Structures are given as structure tokens and as C-alpha cells.
Amino acid sequence: AMETKARSLEAAGKAAEAFQEYKNTLEVYKFVYRWEKNPSVKEMIRQRLEDLFAQERAERSKHFDTVGEKVESLSRALSTFDALVHKEMEERTKENRRIWDAIDNHT
């Protein structure tokens, strides 16, 4: 039930609340695992914990990929902007030289 609630919160975009609910779920699993005597129940809990960790790793990987894509996109945009600024500076420098040459040649 706690895990389901955490998933619902996550799906609703309430990441902080979902994270707290996941932490609570893990604490319960950890407590039950520590005190449970039945080996088959302990194995079920261990397997569920492994599944949760695998899901977390997959989510982190997906998030990392998304962040990486955003960084690459920003880097390309920055390179484009840098090229435009450099070109503008060159054009202004040429224009300034042309103006100063005209002033020097006029007198």
C-alpha cells in the first residue's frame, strides 16, 4: 500500500512527497526483513527491495540521459550564439576601420 501510494504521488508530479513515501516503504521493508523468521517471506522482501533499487537505478539513468540531452542542446545553442557574436564583432571592427580610414583619408 505504501509503495502504491508512492507511485501515485510520483505519477501526480509530487516528487518530494513520493520520495518520502518510498523512504518510508524502505524503512518498513528493512524492519520486517530484520525481524522476520520465515525464510520465504525474507526472500520475498529481499527480492522486492532489489526490484525497487533496480527501478530507482533505471529512473536515475533516464533522468541522467534527459539532463545530458539538455546540456548538449544548451551547448549547441551556446556555440551558435558564440559564432553569431563573433561574426557581429568582426563586422563592427571592419566598419570601424572603414570609418577611421575614411576620416584619415579625408584630411
Give the tens place of pLDDT for each residue, 72-103.
888 889 899 999 999 999 999 999 999 999 99
pLDDT digits (tens, 9 = 90+) for 59-70: 777 777 777 788
Q: What is the grid cell recorded at 98?
A: 572603414
Residue 38 has pLDDT above 70, yes or no: yes
Cβ within 8 Å of residue 24, ≥6 positions away: 2
Residue 107: the pLDDT is 63
**Tens digit of each residue's pLDDT (9 = 90 or more) over 1-25:** 788 888 898 889 888 888 888 888 8
Residue 19 is predicted with a pLDDT of 82
pLDDT of residue 18: 84
Mean pLDDT to the nearest integer, 51-57: 79
**Residue 67 has which C-alpha cell?**
539532463
Cell numbers linked to 99: 570609418
- Considering the entire predicted model, what is its pTM? 0.48
